[in-house]
Amino acid sequence: MKTKVKELRTAAGLTQQQLASQVHVSARTIISIEKEQYNPSLMLAYRIAEVFGVTVEDLCCLRENRELEDRRYENLP
């Protein structure tokens, strides 16, 4: 899933390890989220959103991701 974690983290001047420590996960989890290999849980998304002062909807690009998912469902046989 596409997120704005990398964009917001870089803008805030935080390292992956610093963000990981603030939200109580490993740095590897932050790396995976930024690489779009792992979808954070609702609670983790909320914690990260709180760190950057944005909403979960904005952080996780929910509108954009929903449209992508809708298109995938429309293409189902």
Partner 1 sequence: MKIYHKKNFAAGLLALAAGTGILLYSLWNGFSLYNLLWTGNFFWLGCKALEHSLSRELTHEDLVNERDERNRLLSMRSKSLTLSITQYAAGITGIILASIAKWVEYETPLTYIGLSLMLVWLFILFVQSSVYRYYDKRS
Residues that bind partner 1 (CB under 8 A): 24-26, 28-29, 32, 38, 40-41, 44
The two three-digit tokens of residue 18, written as one number:
């610093």
**Nearest distance from C-beta of residue 32 to partner 1, angstroms:** 6
| Residue with Cβ nearer partner 1 (36 or 70) | 36
The two three-digit tokens of residue 2, written as one number:
């596409």
Could you give the C-alpha distances from 72 to 4, 58, 65, in angstroms and in order? Answer: 22, 21, 11
Helices (H) and strands (E) in the chain, counts: 6, 0
**Nearest distance from C-beta of residue 40 to partner 1, angstroms:** 8
**Nearest distance from C-beta of residue 72 to partner 1, angstroms:** 22
| Residue with Cβ nearer partner 1 (8 or 20) | 20
